[in-house]
Structure formats: structure tokens, C-alpha cells
Amino acid sequence: MAVWSSWAVVSRRILVGGLIAAFTVFPSGSGKAASPSSGSISSTSGPVAWDFAPVEAGTVVDSGMAQRCPPGICDNYDLTVVLPAPSAPLYQTMTAKLTIRFTWTSTVPTDLDVFGIDPRGSAHGPGSPDDTSTGPGEEILTLTDPIEGVWHIRSVAALSPLPTAAHAVATLTIAARPTSPPPPAPGPGAPTFVNYPAPEDCTGSQQPPSCIQPSTGSTTAGAHGAGEPSIGVNWNTGKVFIEAGNHTLRVTFNDATRPATAFWEDKRSPFSRVSLDPILFTDDGHFGGPNRTFVSQLDGACSLMSFTNDDGNTWLPAQGCGLPAGVDHQTVGGGNYASPAPSHSYPHAIYYCSQSIASAFCARSDDGGITFGPGIPIYTFASLMALNTLGPDAGLRPQSQLQRRQQRRSPWRRRLRRQRPELDRAHRTRREDEQRGR
């Protein structure tokens, strides 16, 4: 289709609405509505079932498709959640679980996703497992302590070459919130584990440390605003970072008290924007890094990247990627160079990897993420589909399934290892060209 070949001329500053047009294969016809189109569920109503209309398309990036729900690609069912009391006081002593079992059958590799859009407009999902299958497919979406009101339950075509219908069954259970006596005090020197949930954003006259003071331009930074987090640690200072939305939370622990207390701050990079994939990576001192923290926000076929050397007090912009690059699932990482190491001004190689439908790319930075060399393909869509369509191995017992999956994935790992010298050679050539003034 022309939509794929036109990618080369699409600006990476294109609006999100344009991303949908550029990266999504749209169905030729409009879809039908779910049957029935709405229903209600409570803890005493029993299961509620419905059928989603067929959907089709290939969504390369998650550009708000579940919230927008365009006909043909997405189908909607309105589920009213009825609780025995308002959710805020109810969940002080009780807990609820809304479970949606989402199933379909396909004759080609297909990935449908189920999402729940709560009455406040936040998206929950997709269900698990989020993978591609041929034949029977299933995702389970579990929503803990759902708020009351109308939830939009949506079937979204992540990869569906043919129109595919789905069936959903929802159940709602409510039980007393479990309580347990405090565990016995650990012995001297014994390791312990404590959960430190982030407080909510400060509102009105609230002040830290009971809340987080959001930075200018930040998305919701509190305990309920971390849909896809990344974590990093500066082992020299003990600062811990969590990236979600477009904000970077910094946690400072006070070990002078037992258990230690945590102070949360929003140290958002001014170069971060609301994006489809927030990523954080700290090149920490345990592995020989200088504890530089990177944040990456997906921006089309590249990313907006910045880094900090002082735990988020100041940020510097970076190139963001090496070209060509993919349009989804970007990752930032780093580590020691392969031998012989190329010329470099930063102790570790920093890698940026991303994928598209056709292939995936990795690029390397030799100056600490400031600039990146060319993107090198690490696998192709053809090799991916070949792995996905492998049949059962003759003579393997059921307990060998995990081993078989690992064997099927291992060619990617071997390919990545083989590509590392290619990355080194490509960067070495680039450096030599720059030195010659080309």
C-alpha cells in the first residue's frame, strides 16, 4: 500500500493524528457494533457476556487507538460497573476485581487487544498475554478496584490481516480487603523489603513530602499515573528514578530511620514530551558507568532524548536516535565495548534500538548519547514470521514448551550478537570520514 512507501517523507514532528494515518493499515469497510452494545455488572449480577464485531488492521504504534476507537479497527462495549457503595470509602475495607476474558479465533497470525477506558478517561490494558497467535487467541484483562460508572471496553486490532470477531465475558467479585499481622522483626543484618508507593500530585495547599509537586508541563506524576514505567539507580548517590508519562520521578531514601522513608520529587526533563513510549536508562556505576541517566520519548521514527549527570537537576538534549530507526518499542541501554573498541569519548557504548513492522534497528553512540551512528538492522519481518509459524517439534514433551520457545527466540539473540561487529565497523567508518572532513 502507498501508506507504507510514503513513510520516508513523513516528518517526525507530525501530529499524533497524522501518526495514525501514516502507520496504520485501515480496513476497507466500516465495522458493526458489539452485540449487545452495553450492559451492567455488579457483584451479584453474575457474569456478563457479549460479542465484539470483527475488526481488522495493523497498528504499528499505539497512538491512542483504544481511546479514539476508529470504526473497523476498534469496537466498543459500554459496561456500567455498579458497586455496593461509592468506591472511595468501599475500598478502605473491601477490594474488587473486574476480570474480562477476551477470546477470538483466527486462521492467520493475529493479535487482538482488549482495553478498558475508565469513567475518568484513562486506558487500562492490553490484556495478558499480549502476543500473536493463529487459531484460538485469548487475553485476560484484570482491573483491580475499578471505580463505579460506565467503562468503555474495546476490542482493538493490533495485527489482524482479516476481519476478526471476539467474545468477552466479564465478572466482578468483591471481598474483604485482606489484613495480616505485621511480620516478625528480621534478625540483625537480615535484608528486608518495603513497598514505597508514590504519593499523588499536590493539590490546593498540600505540600511535599505527603504529595509530589509536579514540574511544569508534567503529566500526572502520582501513584496512579505510571502506566509503563522504567527504573534507574545512581549507586553513587543512592537516588532512584522512575520514568512514566513525560515525567521523571526522583526518590531519595533516608536510611537514618527504620524502615527508611522516601522523599519523592518530579525532576522532569524540559525536553520530554507526552509520547507513546517513555523510556529511562541509568548507566550506573556498578557496571563501570558514570551514573548518567537518559530519558527517551518516542517521536515518530526517532525519539526526543536528553540526559542528566546530576540526578535530574539539569538536563542536556541528545540526538535521540540513529537513522534509520523504527517507529515503536524504542529501548536505550549501554555497556562495555566489544574488543577491539573503537575511538570513543565516553566509557560505555550507548545503544538506541527500535522496531517497525518490517524490521528493527540498533544504533550506537560513542560520546555518551549526544550523537548516534547509523541504525543497523537486527532482524526482519520475514524472520519474525518464520519463527512465529514454526509448528510443534516432534517428540518434545509438554514440559519442553518453555525450552522450545527459548530455542525459537535464540536466533534473534545470535543475530544481535553477530550484528555488534557491524555496528562497530559502521561507527568506525563514520568516525574516519569525519576525521577526513568528508
| Measured distance between the N- and C-terminal CA atoms of the chain, rounded to whole angstroms | 37
> In 10 A of CB 57, how many CB atoms?
21
Question: Same structural domain for residues 163 and 306?
Answer: no
Question: Same structural domain for residues 170 and 236?
Answer: no
Q: Vertex 139, ends 99 and 246: CA angle to 5°? A: 85
The answer to the question of residue 209 being in a domain is no
Which pLDDT score is estimated for 122?
84
Which pLDDT score is estimated for 399?
34
Domain count, the chain: 2
Q: Among 29, 30, 35, 6, which Cα is nearest to 18's?
A: 6
The answer to the question of residue 28 being in a domain is yes
pLDDT at 381 over 60: yes
Domain boundary residue, one of 149, 176, 203:
176
The fraction of the chain above a pLDDT of 70, given in percent, is 76
The distance between the two most distant Cα atoms of the chain, rounded to a whole number of Å, is 76
> CB–CB of 140/100 below 8 Å?
yes
Which pLDDT score is estimated for 84?
96
The answer to the question of residue 105 being in a domain is yes
Question: Same structural domain for residues 287 and 413?
Answer: yes
DSSP SS3 for 147:
coil
DSSP SS3 for 305:
strand
Question: Same structural domain for residues 167 and 236?
Answer: no
Mean pLDDT of the chain: 79
Any bridge partners for residue 400, and if so which?
none
Q: Which residue has the higher pLDDT, 136 or 244?
A: 136
Question: Same structural domain for residues 273 and 352?
Answer: yes
Question: Same structural domain for residues 239 and 167?
Answer: no
Which pLDDT score is estimated for 85?
94
DSSP SS3 for 411:
helix
Can you give the residue range of the structural domain that contains 153?
2-176
The answer to the question of residue 19 being in a domain is yes
Q: Lowest mean pLDDT of 265-269, 306-310, 403-407, name the range.
A: 403-407
Domain boundary residue, one of 176, 202, 220:
176
Any bridge partners for residue 296, and if so which?
279, 305
**pLDDT, tens only, 64-105:** 677 889 999 999 999 999 999 999 899 989 999 999 999 999
* CATH value at residue 62: 2.60.120.380
Residue that is written with C-alpha cell 457483584 in the block: 43
Which pLDDT score is estimated for 356?
83
In angstroms, the CA 38 to CA 36 distance is 6
Question: Same structural domain for residues 309 and 381?
Answer: yes
Domain boundary residue, one of 131, 147, 176:
176
In angstroms, the CA 186 to CA 14 distance is 55
pLDDT at 196 over 50: yes
The grid coordinates of residue 274 equal 507526552
The answer to the question of residue 219 being in a domain is no
DSSP-based helix, strand, coil % in the chain, nearest 5: 20, 40, 45
* CATH value at residue 274: 2.120.10
Of the pLDDT bands very low, low, confident and very high (cuts 50, 70, 90), residue 28 is: very low
Of the pLDDT bands very low, low, confident and very high (cuts 50, 70, 90), residue 341 is: very high
Question: Same structural domain for residues 276 and 417?
Answer: yes
Q: Lowest mean pLDDT of 78-87, 161-170, 174-183, 321-330, name the range.
A: 174-183
Question: Same structural domain for residues 156 and 237?
Answer: no
Q: Among 271, 68, 91, 99, which Cα is nearest to 171's?
A: 99
**pLDDT, tens only, 237-251:** 999 999 887 889 999
> CB–CB of 303/296 below 8 Å?
yes
The answer to the question of residue 205 being in a domain is no
pLDDT at 217 over 80: no
Question: Same structural domain for residues 285 and 169?
Answer: no
Question: Same structural domain for residues 238 and 133?
Answer: no
Of the pLDDT bands very low, low, confident and very high (cuts 50, 70, 90), residue 387 is: low
74-81/38-41 β-pairing = parallel
Question: Same structural domain for residues 24 and 148?
Answer: yes
The answer to the question of residue 186 being in a domain is no
Where on the phi/psi map is residue 72: left (φ > 0), alpha (ψ -120 to 50), or beta? Answer: left
The answer to the question of residue 37 being in a domain is yes
Concatenated DSSP letters of 309-368: SSTTSS-EEE----SS--SEEEEEEEEPPPSSPPP-SSSSEEEEEEE-SSEEEEEEESST
